Amino acid sequence: MDRKDAYMDEYRKWLGDGAVDGATKAELLAISGDEAEIKERFYRDLEFGTGGLRGVLGAGSNRMNVYTVRKATQGLANYILKQGEDAARMGVVIAHDCRRMSPEFCEEAALVLNGNGIRSYVFDGLRPTPLLSFAVRYLKATAGIVITASHNPPEYNGYKVYWADGGQTPYPRDEEIITEVERVTDFSHIRRAETGTPGLYMTAGPDVDDEFIRNVKLQSIHPELIPDSPVKIVYTPLHGTGNAPVRRALREMGFKNVYVVPEQEKPDGEFPTVQYPNPEDPAAFALALGLAREKNADLAIATDPDADRVGVAVNNGRGEYVYLTGNMTGVILEEYILSQKKAAGTLPERPAIVSTIVSTNLAEDIAKAYGAAYYNVLTGFKYIGEKIKEFEEAGGPDFVFGFEESFGYLAGTHARDKDSVVAAMLVCEAAAYYASRGMTLLDALEIIRGKYGYYEELNESIALKGVEGSEEIARIMERLRDNPIREICGRKVVEDRDYQRREIHRGGRTEPAVLPVSDVLYYVLEDGSWFCVRPSGTEPKIKIYYGVKAPKEEAEEALEKLREEVRKVMLGDSN
């Protein structure tokens, strides 16, 4: 059977399946003459990857809909049942964000779990991802599900799975769950309750919210500075789930001058005021900066729809706002937390900092300066969460702070995923601390650079959509593996790492890579600059990361030169 027969057969199967509702069939009949659209929707099953599902909403096997959610949940249920009666009794916590179909997908997941005799804890409204991570441990559940597509455009939704430690499922458990999901090959294999089952369908109450906020506030280092601080803060939740918890944390800590962007305050899965609801995109700050200028605010902060990422823009003292990269915010928080805990005598005896291979190398320099162990992990906060569990099981070291360049931060261990609530609170606290010394966060950043060196980083995503795009991404990665890059910008590549083959090549030797298998290529040049290439795990994009360390007056130019040369080698362009 060729591929055309395969996707057309799957299309016809859905049309003839008695388990598929009339509205879904009507949507599919409407595309009956559009073979390209049929192919896009049915050329594969929406992949249940190591973090779960994410895709465009719509009818079809390669789309997010109630049927793909039911299938994923049935696979998860089968896996939980294999863990024993206690696992089913402990249950699964389910949260959702503000996106299209999020409440419906949340309900479907609960009903499938109940149909399998597994308890579900469902929140009474939308909640941020870090609160779900916290709730799994607080409620002593076996697993957690959050319905979200994070910062993707409105047409997307997703489904992420967490395990009992509150972190996203690590290897090999993720692969075992994926295997169970793939075994669900027919909708008739799905056991679903028609309504929530008494004794199994539980509501997660406000006590979870209260305890989460209490734990967030415990991460404060200088709470005494906050009530009297004149720092003015503009905040936008970008129509997402951060509005209630971020504002509550700031209010209860004593911040008085907090202004919320009114047009973006209420949850709205259409994200009508932004093209892309992502604080990594400076354009998402347009309304926040307008209000910041009006109020002469010291900083503006934005959280993404599921409130696990936070972006920051800082007033430079002349009414202009400087947008911080994820790395800049990360090192400001790292230096603030380590320096102030050390000064207060509250830094653990064996502190640990964790960051990702594509984040700034400055993070390691800061950690070493305070005697903290530094750990690199693969891209994805699940690996930082996994380190926290590893530390606890080994009896140390003590996790203090972790971050990734893509605007994800975590202080403390209340959550095992990035948490914009605690990050927003600490950014504002750091601003208050430095303001009490006549400084801004930008001044603090310059002091950090003067102390450790001038690092510059950049990352970019190249979108290649659809079937052809996925194939082109695979070809690019294959070409790079088959034709190793030996020189860039007149500098030799002294080390290259292939995390898919788990090989590190340096000094004419090949060594095993200790990190898990991942489709990532990483290159180090003889002057210490580096770049990294990987496909996105959540979107049809290839991502490229660059980093340099150079004198202040040369760093930006060196970074741009590196970018130009890498793109030329990879893509044959000069943009």
DSSP letter assigned to residue 120 = E
- Other CB atoms within a 10 A radius of the CB of residue 474 amount to 13
Count Cβ atoms below 10 Å from residue 281 Cβ, excluding itself.
16
Gap between the Cα atoms of 272 and 262, Å rounded: 13
Cis peptide before 272 (omega within 30 of 0): no
The secondary structure element, H or E, covering residue 410 is: strand 408-411
Ordered DSSP codes for 307-321: S-BEEEEEE-SSS-E
212 contacts 277 by C-beta, under 8 angstroms: no
Query: What sign results for the dihedral spanned by CA atoms 200, 206, 207, 213?
Result: positive
The identity of residue 79, as a single letter, is: Y
Cα distance between residue 555 and residue 566, in whole Å: 17
Q: Tell me how far apart the alpha carbons of residues 504 and 520 are, in angstroms, rounded to a whole number.
A: 12
Q: Could you tell me where the DSSP H helices lie in 311-374?
A: 326-344, 362-369
Please indicate whether residue 150 is annotated as part of the active site.
yes
Return the amino acid letter for 171. Y
Q: Which residues of 284-317 are buried (b: 16+ CB within 10 A; e: fewer)?
A: bbebbbebbeeeebbbbbbbbbbbbbbbbbbbee
Taking Cα atoms as reference points, which of 77, 319, 318, 256 lies closest to residue 183?
A: 77
What burial class does residue 44 get, using C-beta atoms within 10 Å of its C-beta: 0-12 exposed, 13-18 middle, 19+ buried? middle
The single residue of 150, 220, 420, 518 carrying the catalytic annotation is 150
- Dihedral of the CA atoms 449, 459, 547, 338 (nearest 10)? 40
Give, rounded to a whole angstrom, the gap between the first and last alpha carbons of the chain.
Answer: 42
Give the strands of the sheet with 321-323, arranged side by side.
258-260, 233-236, 299-303, 310-315, 321-323
Answer for the pair 491, 503: CB distance below 8 angstroms, yes or no: no
Q: Which of 360, 410, 412 is nearest to 382 (CA)?
A: 410
Euclidean distance between CA atoms 418 and 485, whole angstroms: 34
What Å distances lie between residue 423 and 246, 331, 359, 366, CA to CA? 9, 12, 17, 18
The single-letter DSSP state of residue 516 is P
Hey, which residues are catalytic here? 150
